[in-house]
Structure 1
Amino acid sequence: MEEQSNIQLHFDVLSCRALLSCEGKDYVLPDTYASKEAAQVAAQKFAFEKLGMKSRQARNPSDLAIWLR
């Protein structure tokens, strides 16, 4: 059975910054985003490319489930 990671995105509407929480670690995404949807797309791409989710859970960044908080 394939293990699922709990990936959460915290988006601050005042600063337009995003914090990604994955496997007990927090990552501040480097850019600012116009909306939480744009931040979600960036978070999916970050998790897919930088955190190694490519081989474990998804074939494309859009396949990753990210919980918006």
Structure 2
Amino acid sequence: MATVIENEMLSYFTQLDESEKRSVVELLKTFLKSRKEDKTVTVEDYNLDLIEGEKEFERGEYITHEQLKNAI
């Protein structure tokens, strides 16, 4: 049986477009990955994260500040 927070998350998630859903899923993966890994981040890993973020931006996988304000 789903909890109240799980139902709320599902309700919000289903209102997102595909690009927003991908962003949220990546965010959740990051949260879960950080639990399992050592908290130390190397410069190389940091730079790879920046490069991946730039690629996501170039693919249009982002929301604007205005879209975020409207979602809130």
TM score, norm. by length of structure 2: 0.32
Structure of greater Rg:
2
| Structure having the larger proportion of residues in helix | 2
Q: Report which structure shows greater RCO (CA 8 Å, sep ≥6).
A: 2
| Structure having the larger proportion of residues in strand | 1
